[in-house]
Amino acid sequence: MIPVSAQFFSEVGDYLDRERPPLDHDRLFVVLRGPTRGRPLSADGLDEILDGVRKRTGLPRLTCHQLRHTCLTRLREAGMALEAVQAQAGHRSIESTRIYIHLANSWLVEQYLQASAAIDADRTES
């Protein structure tokens, strides 16, 4: 089972309606410009798109692998249990999952404050 958000389907629908040329093959993502317009998007083509994004945004580096790190980090920050993130990533070891996750300081502070509040509430109830 692959979890997919409703927003994903909305975005894909917009892409199909507004950007993707009508074609007679079943590939979802295709080249949108140039002499190969309409052909299936290749891994090299995706790297080329990311390179263009990197240059326009001034990022020193941008790869599909970094996007994977970002996705797993966002899942964890959204409250998904580390073991669930591990399963989603297909990692055998939870240590591999921990390497992938780069938690924002603001998220860590929020987690600490929530834990502190729970401890304080527990002490005052005793």
Highest mean pLDDT among 14-18, 97-101, 109-113: 14-18
Backbone torsions φ then ψ of 91, nearest 5 degrees: -80, 140
What is the pLDDT at residue 33?
A: 87
**DSSP single-letter state for residue 75:** H
What is the pLDDT at residue 1?
A: 61
* CA dist., res. 53 & res. 51, Å (int): 5
Beta-bridge mates of residue 30: 40
pLDDT band at 4 (very low <50, low <70, confident <90, very high): confident
Average pLDDT rounded to a whole number, residues 101-111: 78
**For 42, how many CA atoms within 13 A lie in the half-sphere containing its CB?**
6
* CA dist., res. 83 & res. 95, Å (int): 10
* CA dist., res. 109 & res. 117, Å (int): 12
**For 118, how many CA atoms within 13 A lie in the half-sphere containing its CB?**
6
Average pLDDT rounded to a whole number, residues 44-67: 92
